[in-house]
């Protein structure tokens, strides 16, 4: 039980990597707050989590909206009285060519993928500072490291922003014993990647990731084993790209 009695907020926990993270954390004893835009998928995952014997609060949240995020964090605190872990997982994706990318698409991508992690992190900081401990883990992407193999420019740029935001937050919050890290998946088998072309020939391991394989790396950064890691982006890409 590596997260026994800890409280974790997981954004976008209704499916894919977020769902896998919810279930992985719950199996390790964490109580879960699912902050998800889609109430139907979130309720289904909420039932799966409760069946594992921990508590779960489902809160419909739009991570791109500050009022929605602050209300979600308040409800989490009202229910659990503490927040130990925030996983900034909610995200949206597109393949749009740069010539076709509208201002609206650019703004929405930045609002969900980059402003979302900023708003959620900002909303939990006071609580984590008071607790003198906390873990923030955000989903970056290989696209944000290499410019996107199939992903659009706004998606790739938003994820590069997430990975730099991670370093800025790590610098600011380290003195308060709050670690801040990112995960950079390559391709994981979720709804987001259903229409991806086959990129497995570019993966040293020759296959895409299962969501739980990404969740397990998030668990490492959230658990006591990850206590001295901060400001880091962990590649979970099957050897598709190897940064220094
Ligand atoms: N799947 C991959 O190969 C891959 C690769 C690199 C990075 N990522 C990142 O991992 C994260 C999870 O990806 P996934 O593949 O599980 O995606 P997914 O599309 O399967 O799930 C995303 C979840 O986020 C939720 N969401 C979307 N907008 C939201 C909002 N405004 N507020 C709250 N929730 C919202 C969706 O409802 C959904 O449940 C994303 O940030 C994604 O960019 C995924």
pTM of the model: 0.99
Determine the atom of ligand 1 nearest the C-alpha atom of 159: 43
| CA 175 to ligand 1 centroid distance, Å | 30
Give the pLDDT score at 93: 98
The residue whose CA has the least distance to atom 10 of ligand 1 is 139
Domains, the chain? 7-236 (3.40.50.720)
Identify which of 95, 100, 1 has the alpha carbon closest to the alpha carbon of residue 53: 1
148: number of Cβ within 10 Å:
19
Is it the case that residue 60 has pLDDT exceeding 90? yes
Instruction: Write out residues with Cβ below 6 Å of ligand 1.
Output: 11-12, 14-18, 36-38, 41, 61-64, 89-93, 112, 139, 141, 185, 187-188, 190-193
Average pLDDT over residues 160-171: 98
| CA 87 to ligand 1 centroid distance, Å | 12
Determine the atom of ligand 1 nearest the C-alpha atom of 19: 16
Rounded CA gap, 244 and 242, in Å? 7
Residue 100: which pLDDT band, with cuts at 50, 70 and 90?
Answer: very high
Note the pLDDT tens digit of each residue in 102-148. 999 999 999 999 999 999 999 999 999 999 999 999 999 999 999 99
Note the pLDDT tens digit of each residue in 31-48. 999 999 999 999 999 999
Rounded CA gap, 162 and 29, in Å? 28
Out of 192, 203, 212, mutate this one to test ligand 1's pocket (max ligand atoms within 8 Å of CB): namely 192
Average pLDDT over residues 49-74: 98
The residue whose CA has the least distance to atom 43 of ligand 1 is 91
Give the pLDDT score at 244: 72
Rounded CA gap, 143 and 244, in Å? 16
Note the pLDDT tens digit of each residue in 172-216. 999 999 999 999 999 999 999 999 999 999 999 999 999 999 999
Residue 164: which pLDDT band, with cuts at 50, 70 and 90?
Answer: very high
| CA 12 to ligand 1 centroid distance, Å | 6
Residue 243: which pLDDT band, with cuts at 50, 70 and 90?
Answer: confident
Q: Among this protein's residues, is 155 annotated catalytic?
A: yes
């Amino acid at each position: 039980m590596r997260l026994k009695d800890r409280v974790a907020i997981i954004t976008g926990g209704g499916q894919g990597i977020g769902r896998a993270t919810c279930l992985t954390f719950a199996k390790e004893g964490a109580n879960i707050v699912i902050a998800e835009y889609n109430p139907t998928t979130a309720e289904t995952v909420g039932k799966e989590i409760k069946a594992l014997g921990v508590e779960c609060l489902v809160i419909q949240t739009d991570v791109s909206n500050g009022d929605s995020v602050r209300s979600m964090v308040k409800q989490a605190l009202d229910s659990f009285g503490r927040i130990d872990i925030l996983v900034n997982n909610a995200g949206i994706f597109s393949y749009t060519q740069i010539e076709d990318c509208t201002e609206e698409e650019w703004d929405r991508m930045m609002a969900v993928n980059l402003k979302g992690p900023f708003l959620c992190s900002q909303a939990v900081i006071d609580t984590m500072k008071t607790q003198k401990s906390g873990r923030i883990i955000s989903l970056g992407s290989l696209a944000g490291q290499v410019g996107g193999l199939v992903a659009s420019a706004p998606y790739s740029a938003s994820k590069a922003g997430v990975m730099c935001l991670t370093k800025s937050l790590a610098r600011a919050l380290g003195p308060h014993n709050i670690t801040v890290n990112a995960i950079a998946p390559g391709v994981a088998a979720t709804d987001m990647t259903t229409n991806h072309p086959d990129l497995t020939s570019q993966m040293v391991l020759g296959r895409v990731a299962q969501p739980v394989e990404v969740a397990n790396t998030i668990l490492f950064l959230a658990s006591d084993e990850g206590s001295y890691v901060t400001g880091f982006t962990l590649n979970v890409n099957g050897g598709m790209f190897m940064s220094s």
